[in-house]
């Protein structure tokens, strides 16, 4: 039997090929038990507590991930729902949080394991005590009223002495019909943890800058922690910063929250967190900058002040930037520790970077077009000079062959040379080397054939002249 009231069977591992967990083992026991009890005429001698424990085990394991386990669970619960030994009745609360501000009432439901209606019962709140003070019970033996519409048992007014905090409520249920008491298993006592929440009063909040030596107040400003306003103070390393406020429960008692932190965050995102100490209702923290200079890494500048006050039962927990303090710290010495590097926003590190625009090489300075054209003309001029010189020399075209065949060959020879030169011009303008070379092959072969013919004709002619 486990402490939380559940009861289950487990199997000892004795060299079996297939090991069954507690769920499968317990469910097979339940199946056998309920099947057996349905066929025998006498009643089995089993206490209701054990049946209730088994029922609580099946209800407490949640939803098993395995289909076989899930079947075992639901099947066992179905067996328990209507068995001949005793039917377990489960007490549950739809909400374990009672809000004092909303004036909630305590509601309790009693059902069978699969959620069907229970017979008429008397549900009694035996004890209610704070989890911190277990001996002191606030409520004793309070019977809950039944609401037939919602089928819940409720307690309308909690006594006025209920303050915020964590409590444990102990319930007992009893079947009203005494004959049916053996049919159902109600167990003895059920313990339920309850949270009672409410609004915590925070008042008298002040922030002050004190002179370190004398402790006198230099600046003091009131804080409105419930509102949205911010304050700004300034201090140097010789002063102290003090934040103080008072907290009390709705009933006026002292309240110690789970979290009361003061956080100073620098512009460079370096943070320092301090715990706000308390004595009774008064909460106060004093930051002595003289001692904290090294902890702050000698970083001067603007620090955002953030106050966090929170608790599970506090309905108005706060996490708020209450302002900023301009801190003037001395220069860091040579061996001062550097502040830790702050985490970089992953989007700036892994996100798209700034687009790089390629800066093309600035084009070279070209001469003005007129100059280039002038020199082009100037370059062509010597060609004309050559032609004029040729004419002056009296170049003779007399040796040009006049008879038909050699003449055509001569003409074709000159045309061939012109064609090759034209090909070169085209090559410069747009052709590539490969097509040029291909065309050149053909033209070259043609030219060589024609040239050979022409020149050999000329050679034979001059040879004839020489011999003659």
Q: How far apart are CA 173 and CA 123, in angstroms?
A: 4
Q: Is 312 in the site for another protein (CB under 8 A)?
A: no
Q: Is 193 in the site for another protein (CB under 8 A)?
A: no
Q: Is 399 in the site for another protein (CB under 8 A)?
A: no
CB 412, min distance to another protein, A = 14
Quick one: which of 204, 226, 250, 242 has its CA closest to 317? 226
What are the phi and psi torsion angles at 376 (to 5°)?
A: -60, -45
Q: Is 420 in the site for another protein (CB under 8 A)?
A: yes
Tokens 């943890």 sit on residue: 193
| Burial of residue 416 (number of CB atoms within 10 Å: 0-12, 13-18, 19+) | buried
Q: Is 202 helix (H, G, I), strand (E, B) or coil?
A: strand
Q: How far apart are CA 329 and CA 294, in angstroms?
A: 10
CB 408, min distance to another protein, A = 18
Q: Which residues pair with 233 in a beta bridge?
A: 325
Nearer residue to another protein within complex by CB, 214 or 393: 393
Q: Where does this chain touch another protein (CB under 8 A) — which range of 157-165, 198-206, 323-331, 432-440?
A: 432-440
CB 415, min distance to another protein, A = 13
Helix (H) or strand (E) holding 56: helix 48-60
Q: How far apart are CA 119 and CA 180, in angstroms?
A: 9
Q: Where does this chain touch another protein (CB under 8 A) — which range of 83-91, 123-131, 175-183, 421-429?
A: 421-429
Helices (H) and strands (E) in the chain, counts: 8, 20
Q: Where does this chain touch another protein (CB under 8 A) — which range of 138-146, 295-303, 351-359, 424-432?
A: 424-432
Tokens 């072969």 sit on residue: 445
Of 275, 421, 441, 445, which lies in the binding site for another protein, with binding defined by CB under 8 A? 421
Binding mask 336-375 for another protein (x = CB under 8 A): ----------------------------xxxx---xx--x
Nearer residue to another protein within complex by CB, 353 or 392: 392
Q: How far apart are CA 461 and CA 455, in angstroms?
A: 9
Of 92, 234, 236, 436, which lies in the binding site for another protein, with binding defined by CB under 8 A? 436
Tokens 């709140």 sit on residue: 125
Nearer residue to another protein within complex by CB, 133 or 448: 448
Q: Which residues pair with 310 in a beta bridge?
A: 259
Nearer residue to another protein within complex by CB, 63 or 468: 468
Q: Is 64 helix (H, G, I), strand (E, B) or coil?
A: coil
CA of 378: how far to CAs of 16, 107, 373, 381, 429, in Å? Answer: 110, 112, 9, 5, 22
Tokens 């179905």 sit on residue: 78
Nearer residue to another protein within complex by CB, 193 or 382: 382
Nearer residue to another protein within complex by CB, 62 or 394: 394
Nearer residue to another protein within complex by CB, 188 or 462: 462
CB 385, min distance to another protein, A = 6
CB 211 within 8 A of CB 197: no
Q: Is 400 in the site for another protein (CB under 8 A)?
A: no
What are the phi and psi torsion angles at 61 (to 5°)?
A: -90, 5
Quick one: which of 246, 168, 234 has its CA closest to 206? 246
Of 161, 279, 379, 402, which lies in the binding site for another protein, with binding defined by CB under 8 A? 379
Q: Is 455 in the site for another protein (CB under 8 A)?
A: yes
CB 459, min distance to another protein, A = 4
Of 385, 405, 422, 435, which lies in the binding site for another protein, with binding defined by CB under 8 A? 385
| DSSP codes of every residue in 73-107 | HHHHHHHHHT-SS-EEEEEE-S-SEEETTTT--EE
Nearer residue to another protein within complex by CB, 358 or 392: 392
Nearer residue to another protein within complex by CB, 302 or 452: 452
Q: Is 59 in the site for another protein (CB under 8 A)?
A: no
CB 410, min distance to another protein, A = 12
Q: Is 86 helix (H, G, I), strand (E, B) or coil?
A: coil
CB 221 within 8 A of CB 204: no
Q: Which residues pair with 153 in a beta bridge?
A: 108, 146
Q: Is 378 in the site for another protein (CB under 8 A)?
A: yes
Nearer residue to another protein within complex by CB, 198 or 451: 451
Q: Where does this chain touch another protein (CB under 8 A) — which range of 104-112, 218-226, 240-248, 380-388?
A: 380-388
CB 431, min distance to another protein, A = 10
CB 170 within 8 A of CB 144: no
Q: Which residues are at the interface with another protein (CB under 8 A)?
A: 364-367, 371-372, 375, 378-379, 381-383, 385-386, 389-390, 393-396, 417, 420-421, 424-425, 427-428, 433, 436, 440, 444, 448, 451-452, 455-456, 458-459, 462-463
């Amino acid at each position: 039997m486990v402490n939380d009231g559940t009861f289950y069977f487990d199997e000892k591992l004795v060299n079996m090929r297939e090991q069954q967990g507690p769920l499968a083992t317990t469910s097979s026991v339940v199946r056998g038990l309920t099947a057996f009890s349905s066929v025998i005429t006498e009643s089995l001698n089993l206490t209701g507590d054990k049946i209730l424990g088994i029922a609580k085990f099946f209800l407490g394991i949640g939803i098993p991930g395995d289909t076989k386990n899930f079947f075992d669970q639901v099947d066992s619960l179905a067996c328990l729902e209507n068995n001949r030994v005793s039917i377990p009745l489960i007490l549950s609360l739809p909400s374990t949080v009672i809000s004092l501000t909303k004036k909630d009432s305590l509601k309790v439901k009693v059902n069978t394991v699969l959620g069907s209606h229970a017979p008429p019962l008397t549900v009694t709140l035996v004890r209610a005590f704070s989890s911190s003070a277990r001996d002191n019970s606030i409520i004793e033996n309070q019977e809950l009223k039944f609401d037939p519409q919602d089928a819940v048992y409720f307690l309308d007014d909690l006594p006025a002495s209920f303050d915020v905090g964590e409590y444990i409520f102990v319930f007992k249920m009893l079947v009203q019909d005494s004959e049916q008491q053996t049919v159902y298993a109600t167990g003895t006592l059920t313990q339920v943890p309850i949270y009672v929440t409410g609004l915590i009063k925070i008042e008298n909040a002040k922030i002050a800058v004190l002179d370190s030596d004398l402790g006198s107040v230099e600046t003091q400003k009131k804080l409105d922690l419930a509102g949205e306003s911010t304050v700004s103070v300034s201090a140097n390393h010789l002063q102290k910063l003090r934040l103080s406020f008072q907290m009390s429960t709705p009933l006026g008692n002292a309240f110690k929250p789970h979290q009361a932190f003061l956080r100073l965050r620098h512009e460079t995102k370096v943070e320092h967190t301090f715990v706000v100490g308390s004595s009774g209702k008064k909460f106060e923290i004093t930051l002595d900058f003289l001692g904290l200079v090294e902890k702050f890494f000698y970083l001067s500048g603007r620090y955002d002040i953030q106050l966090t006050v929170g608790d599970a039962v506090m309905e108005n927990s706060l996490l708020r930037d209450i302002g900023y303090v301009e801190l003037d710290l001395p220069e860091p010495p040579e061996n001062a520790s550097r502040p830790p590097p702050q985490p970089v926003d992953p989007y700036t590190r892994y996100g798209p970077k700034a687009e790089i625009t390629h800066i093309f090489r600035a084009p070279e300075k070209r001469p003005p077009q007129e100059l280039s054209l002038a020199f082009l003309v100037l370059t062509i001029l010597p060609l004309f000079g050559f032609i004029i010189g040729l004419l002056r020399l009296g170049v003779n075209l007399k040796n040009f062959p006049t008879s038909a065949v050699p003449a055509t060959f001569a003409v074709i020879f000159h045309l061939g040379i012109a064609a090759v030169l034209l090909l070169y011009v085209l090559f410069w303008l747009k052709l590539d080397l490969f097509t040029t070379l291909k065309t050149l092959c053909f033209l070259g072969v043609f030219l060589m054939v024609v040239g050979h013919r022409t020149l050999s004709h000329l050679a034979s002619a001059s040879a004839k002249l020489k011999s003659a």
